[in-house]
Structure 1
Amino acid sequence: MRGCIFNHGLISFFHVYRPLELMYKYGNISEGVCKPGFAAAKMTAIYPKFTKLAPMFLDPNYKRFSRIGDYLPPFGVKTQEKIIDILLSATNMYGLGEELDSKSCKTCIIVGNGGILANKSLGQKIDDFDVVVRLNEAPVKGFEKDVGSKTTIRITYPEGAIQKTERYEAESLFVLSAFKSLDFKWLRHMVFNQRLRSTDGFWKSVARHVPREPSDMRILNPYFIQEASFKLIGLPHNNGQMGRGNIPTLGTVAITMALHNCDEVAVAGFGYNMSTPHAPLHYYEKIRMSAIKESWTHNISKEKEFLMKLVKAGVIQDLTGGICGAGC
């Protein structure tokens, strides 16, 4: 079953749910049973205009999303249509796969890379989700007890991708989140297994080979970057171009993607506590929290406000409790 098939369960996306309605709708569903349309219902209660049906990945009909055609990367596909058409023709697969696409209710978890994941023994709980999303080069091997062993999709960009081919999991979808035009050219080299002759234009070293078949590669719908930035977090529009403090982090982009495509959404490994400078920044390395610096492209504080809003409203479940700390 190719393409993205969206199940929005019993929910009408043009109805704003109120707490009492939500209680009646989901109150008698057994604990642990997937609740159709739950995340979107909760989301429309706090963002009434959250009605856009947006597929996870670009497919051959991506031009129907006029808003992504109006913007250059990272907020759209303007000027990149030709190379995208080539890539989509080569990959020829645009969904999660037949089994997941056909599920009537999907639970998804976005696994962040935060040090807060260490020693929580959440591995089995993470693996119980239908869709496990991992970000950039965060390793699985050797950390299974805390982060699980299952990877459904790994979202990244050239500079964030795993560079040692042996570190890739045996099975997962490789998903490009393109932040600049050059990223699509890089993906073309990966899809067609061509030698990357130059890395000019990248801000650090990039992966030179991705051990995946073209049918296991996808392009993340840039609508999620656009929506997270301009509509949900409220970052500067800057005429629709990348500018100071208007790019959401990949984690928040992944959460936005999940809210459109999953019935229940959870996160783990999110949240930086700057009051603990000696705590590990990531679960897989010894770099300390004090190493984090205010990014030119991100607005961490404004993004945290958005994520706290989602947790407080019950839109997403935070398994490690790092988003709110004691604030929810």
Structure 2
Amino acid sequence: MVKSEDEKNVVRPPIWEIYSNESPKAIAHNLLRSNTFSPPMKRQVRPVFSLLLLFVVVATFGCRVAVRNGFGSVYWESDYSVVDANNNIPPLDLPVFNSTLLKLAEIEVGEFQLRKEIEQLMEGNFGNIAHLRTFATWRRFFNRGDSLARTSRGIPVTSRSPEFSRVWLKFRRCLGDWSRKKKFYPDIMDELVELVKVGIDKHNGLSLGAKKYSSCAVVGNSGILLSKDYGKLIDSHEAVIRLNNARIESFQKNVGSKTSISFVNSNILHLCARRGDCFCHPYGSNTPIVMYMCQPAQFLDYVVCNSSHKSPLIVTDPRFDVLCARIVKYYSLKRFADSPNKTLEQWNKAHDGSLFHYSSGMQAVMLALGVCDKVSLFGFGKSTGAKHHYHTNQKAELTLHDYLAEYDFYSDLVSRPRSIPFVSNKFKFPLVVIHR
């Protein structure tokens, strides 16, 4: 049959565009039934074409890779797409995860005890008086006859006062909401702009919508900063995130002077709550504070102090906390498993079991990944003879953190972010630079 000139000039789109909404099985069936090949040619190319088609379908629609190592552990790979929107084929640099370590990283050793503690707190049971007095707010609301007990605004209160009732109801509401949301949610990274940055922008009088910071500097507290003059470089970023109220006075040439977000753990706020009006503003009372909750009872500190804060005091979403915890534990387990003469059963004892936790620096970096287009890390690392913190005399590290595992995580952020477990494949990692 002779084709017309119009038929000859027809440009057929690629097969993945024609059948992009079809299943792989339907694509194969439709292609072999189509007029793409004449009947004699169909018989000749069917075996070869079937193999080629299988390769195209697998490469286009994703695959799962499973390899067993010498110890019997199965490594797995999640679905991936080879052909992007522009029909570009990226390199097949596939991340590989240890399924055993993934399962172990999902386990929260102290979860049962935490749930029990939350239930007791919701019922008003703080354990005992000695335990109660460890909280900065006990004198204000649980005075036990202490005539000096006052609110952050200097109002005398008793445990039956209207002032206490309002605080207690809010405490229970915040703790209950936090407890219910504390679960794994891999897409939380894409919600950090709305959860954190939008509130900070409103406080600063900005209405930029869900726009990320163009660049962020996360300033760690390592003593290695004392040998660096990063001050001007740090301050050149649109946003600067500092950790746990680290001093900047007398260290401006090393760490800069600009602060956009003060990132702290709730133990820091607990100490601040002892001061008048819960003063916790070494970078100025207008600097927003983002805080992750270390102990559920410290929501009492948050409720009391939040009422006197001029700037936002934002508690991190517990789903974000869970994601950070799983990532750090995976890297710690992996490092432990790769060490000679060690077994995974020994990991729990080596890292204080239920006390094991990510550092404030790690979660601040994770926050920056979600709210910044470019992330620069300063003061993350250590060297022989350097102090643990640039602004203190502390040299020993806390055993509840695994800093070496976190350094492995930072390295992957720079060179192969897709190898980081538990983060949704939909999340687009920003460019990360480490200044050593």
TM-score by length of 1: 0.57
Answer with 1 or 2: which has the greater Rg: 2
State the partner residue of 2:371: 261
Taking the TM superposition and a 5 Å limit, the aligned residue runs for 1:93-104 are 95-98=199-202, 99=206, 101-102=208-209, 103=211
Q: Distance in 1 between matches of 2:207 and 2:260?
A: 10
Per-residue CA shift, 1:130-152, capped at 9, x if unaligned?
A: 22111102012222221111111
The 1:72–1:106 alpha-carbon spacing in structure 2 relative to 1, beyond 3 Å, is farther
Q: 1:256 to 1:101 in 2, by over 3 A?
A: farther
Does residue 282 of the first structure (1) align with residue 377 of the second (2)? no
Q: Decide which of 141, 147, 155 is 2:263's aligned counterpart.
A: 155
Task: Decide whether the 8 Å contact of 2:328 with 2:406 is kept in 1.
Answer: no
Corresponding residue of 1:32: none
Question: Structure 1: how far apart are the matches of 2:237 and 2:410?
Answer: 20
Say whether 1:226 aligns with 2:309. no
Instruction: Give unpaired runs (5+ residues) of structure 1.
Output: 1-13, 25-44, 50-70, 194-211, 322-328
Counterpart Cα distance in 2 of 1:160 and 1:217: 13
1:168-197 deviation digits (Å, cap 9, x = unpaired): 22231012210110221111121234xxxx
Give TM-score scaled by structure 2 length. 0.44
Residue 191 of structure 1: which of 288, 306, 311 is its match?
Answer: 306
Structure 1 position 216, deviation (Å): 2.0
Q: Is the 8 A contact 1:93 1:216 kept in 2?
A: no
Counterpart among 405, 409, 413 of residue 306 in structure 1: 409
Paired residue total: 231
Question: CA-to-partner distance for each residue in 1:79-111, whole Å, 9 max, x for gaps?
Answer: 687125899xxxx99622143854465211211
Query: Would the alpha carbon gap of residues 249 and 192 (structure 1) be closer, same or farther in structure 2, given more than 3 Å must change?
Result: same
- SS of the equivalent of 1:118 reads helix
The answer to whether the Cα contact below 8 Å between 1:136 and 1:157 also exists between their aligned partners in 2 is yes
Which residue matches 1:83? 174
Q: For 1:110 and 1:184, how far apart are their aligned partners in 2? A: 26
CA distance in 2, matches of 1:233, 1:268: 23
**Partners of 1:302 and 1:186 in 2: CA distance:** 31
Q: How does 1:1-328 map to 2 (within 5 A)?
A: 82-83=173-174, 95-98=199-202, 99=206, 101-102=208-209, 103=211, 106-161=214-269, 163=272, 165=279, 168-170=282-284, 171-193=286-308, 212-213=309-310, 215-231=311-327, 233-234=329-330, 243-244=353-354, 246-273=356-383, 276=384, 278-285=385-392, 287=393, 291-295=395-399, 297-313=400-416, 315-319=431-435, 321=436
Aligned-partner Cα distance in 2 for 1:218–1:101: 19
**Equivalent pair of 1:117/1:269 in contact (CA under 8 Å):** yes
Deviation at 1:281, TM superposition (A): 2.1
- Does the Cα contact within 8 Å between 2:212 and 2:372 map onto a contact in 1? no
Bigger helix fraction: 2
- Cα distance in 2, alignment partners of residues 151 and 250 from structure 1: 16
Is contact 2:291-2:314 (8 Å) kept? yes
Query: Using a 3 Å threshold, how does the CA distance of structure 1 residues 172 and 46 change in structure 2: closer, same or farther?
Result: farther
Counterpart residue identity of residue 168, structure 1: P
Alpha carbons 2:212, 2:373 under 8 Å: kept: no
Which SS does the other structure have where 1:96 is aligned? helix
Query: Once the 2 structures are TM-superposed, how far is the Cα of residue 46 of structure 1 from its aligned partner?
Result: 7.2
1:127 shift after superposition: 1.2
